[in-house]
Amino acid sequence: MLLITGGAGFIGANLVHHCLEHTAQQVVVLDALTYAGGLDNLEPWLGHDRLHFEHGDIRDRERVRELLHQYQPRAIIHLAAESHVDRSIATADAFVDTNVVGTMRLLQATLAWWDGLPATRRQSFRLLHVSTDEVFGSLAPDAAPFDVHTPYAPSNPYAAAKAAADHLVMAWHRTHGLPTCILHSANNYGPRQYPEKLIPLTIQRVLAGATVPVYGDGLQQRDWLHVTDHCRALMDLLEVAEPGEVYLVGGGAPCSNRELLRELCRQLDAAYHAGRIPAPPGGWPAEGAASRLRQVTDRPGHDRRYASSNRRLHQATGWRAQIALTDGLRDTVQWYLDNPQWLARRKSATPPAWLTCSRGQTA
């Protein structure tokens, strides 16, 4: 039995699909079903005898402890988090409540349950906490990629809240002996990502015939990781991770936001000309979807570059990214085209601030 917190969200739901499709694992999903999560993310597995959904909040310590006693998981993969940087800049309260307080209460409940296990169960149990490369701040243009020795230097409230959660996870291991591990992930993309994030937002706005906002000069560099490769890394690591260890996972596909968006627009152009996309209001732009890109004022505290070393993860598991960025973007575009009802349900709940584009120059 594997317990996944936040299992109805983007990465969590993809992990559930991966586990049920590729392993014999029984999975318990604990999710509060906030705006970014949805039971439809778990279709067609809802009701299957290997998937157990539990509606609940990681901040509810007694609820978590009750579920641990009920299901007796061999491991927890902790993915429940508020994760959108722009929202954290607007108001950080939910990020501290969920990412910091929620993680602390999950640790408290897990420790109280774990303390009562037989010695062999205590030794084999793992709590794998999924963090982000953003806790390390911005890399200089010529700096080596982040590794396990990189100091923390978060630039925004989201990253700061995740950094605080990381420190709590490490403290519960060092103080109480709870067998925790941390995995810092690069930027994920793929199916079921909430449409306030860069890639699904761009797809949504191009399909609607709208302009696409690009922060600043668009030259911020990220290391893009397909969510399926991330799920593989999590499951591989779960089998070998040593308590107290830290690992990083990147996609090995660094590119600027501008390069990413132009490739995404090429994929959308190809889909339109192949007849897989209906013409948006006003028709498809003659210059291509990239003509919809518009530079807007940069985000406060916007990190310039991220890159992660996979060395320790590769040494421990042999893991390597398998999905090239071009292929992953093509498949991601196709998933959103194949699931218009999913996108429509999210779009109706997306805050207007992430659907509007300030007037600016072509990127």
Which position among 158, 194, 247, 336 bears the catalytic label? 158
| Cα–Cα separations (whole angstroms), residue 223 to 32, 51, 131, 321, 336 | 29, 32, 15, 12, 22
How many angstroms separate the CA atoms of 25 and 20, rounded?
6
Nearby residues of 274 by Cβ (< 8 Å), 6 or more positions away:
none
Which position among 31, 57, 133, 166 bears the catalytic label? 133
Phi and psi for 138 in degrees, rounded to 5?
-100, 135
Reduce the DSSP state of residue 13 to 3 states and report it: helix
Which position among 134, 166, 196, 229 bears the catalytic label? 134
How many angstroms separate the CA atoms of 352 and 28, rounded?
34
- The two tokens of residue 92 are 């950080």
Alpha helix stretches (DSSP H) within 296-355: 311-317, 325-338, 340-347
Nearby residues of 156 by Cβ (< 8 Å), 6 or more positions away:
85, 88, 89, 134, 300, 301, 303
Q: Catalytic site residue 263?
A: no
Neighbours of 31 (CB within 10 A): 27
Alpha helix stretches (DSSP H) within the chain: 10-22, 61-71, 85-90, 93-95, 103-114, 119-124, 157-176, 198-207, 227-240, 257-273, 311-317, 325-338, 340-347
How many angstroms separate the CA atoms of 285 and 279, rounded?
9
Buried-state track 65-100, b at ≥16 Cβ within 10 A, e below 16: bebbeebebebbbbbbbbbbbbbbbeebebbbebbb
Q: Catalytic site residue 133?
A: yes
Q: Catalytic site residue 71?
A: no
* Helix and strand counts by DSSP (H, E) for the chain: 13, 12
Nearby residues of 116 by Cβ (< 8 Å), 6 or more positions away:
none
β-pair partners for 212: 293
Active site residues: 133-134, 158
